Amino acid sequence: MATLQFVDASAARDGQGAAGDEFRPSDAEALDAYSTVVIAVARELSPSVASLRVARQFRGRTASGAGSAVVITPDGFLLTSAHVVEGARAGTATFVDGSDLRFQVVGADALSDLAVLRVADGTPPAARLGDASRLQVGQLVVAIGNPNGYAGSVTAGVVSALGRSLPVGRPGGRQRIVENVVQTDAALNPGNSGGAVADGRGAVVGIATAVAGVGLGLAVPVDDATRRIVAALMRDGRVRRAYLGLVGGTRPLPPRVAGRLGRTRGIEVIEVVPGSPADLAGLRPEDLLVELDGLALGGVDDLQRLMTDERIGRRAQATVVRAGDIRNVTVVPRELDGDRPSPSP
């Protein structure tokens, strides 16, 4: 059974512990360094994180809600989680300096759980956006938000895992997988959603989105894909995505096909939506989709990444395996209707 050891202060000053163990100044220095980093991040970033109050309209009823948001531009744009402002058009953003600013919802994208807000009056300085693709497991992160109504709360932890997947979207409606979600043990609670998860330099590398359990918080990564979504929301108020209209799942390729393609997995077509681009192209259940315009498809997430607005209305060549034969079909993706019930592109 483990026992506690108490170190005599005078002995510690002499460089020896009570049990004769050598005292290591680096232990205290490491603690001080950790504290210094968290304090510096909190001091820099806290003014840029707002506590949100929103009034949502559902079926003729008004319900209040709360969350967090991060200032991302000097001219008043804020980034938050889509579910925080779902059903709302406006609300109030409160900052740590005590200022209350009215905001309007510029655009929200349920399929990435991101939303952009804007305030008319001046905001505190914008936070610096980082790059979640450079994070490493074990790296220090600091979360700042509004958990349970306690504005400006700061917690710290580490990156517990990278590359997690998070299903998002409206219940009973369109679903999508957010990829490369950041998992952290920094304490996140209801109200943290939309708040900042920052690295040790104070750059925002994630937007808190979900609490999956004690010590298990998830954040939408700030990366190239996020920046494109935010830019589209700021410009158009929505995100356009291409749509094929199929339900699929990852499946191993037959050995002969795997040998020819040099890959082991593809997407099995489980269901084709009638009248969809996939249906019009002649795709059918049990087809194995392995390429789109020469780009390898090893799973549904690979196909999702390719369903960008640039592909809407443009002919694409899909390579499929049917009854052991490899063939090409032409498909023309159309724009996704966000309310269309289907879990795949």
Active centre residues (catalytic) = 83, 113, 193
Distance CA 244, CA 329 (A): 13
Element at 11 (helix H, strand E): helix 9-13
Structural contact between residues 289 and 272, judged by C-beta atoms closer than 8 angstroms:
no
Distance CA 339, CA 299 (A): 23
Which parts of 286-327 fold into alpha helices (H)? 300-306
Q: Which amino acid is at 290?
A: V
Distance between first and last Cα of the chain: 55
Nearest CA among 220, 236, 208, 273 for reference residue 111: 220
Element at 65 (helix H, strand E): strand 61-71
Q: Which amino acid is at 212?
A: A
Structural contact between residues 82 and 105, judged by C-beta atoms closer than 8 angstroms:
no
| Buried-exposed string 75-106: b where 16+ CB fall within 10 A, e elsewhere | ebbbbbbbbbbbbbeebebbbbeeeebebebb
Nearest CA among 327, 306, 331, 326 for reference residue 316: 331
Q: Where are the beta strands (DSSP E) in 83-147?
A: 90-94, 100-109, 114-119, 140-145
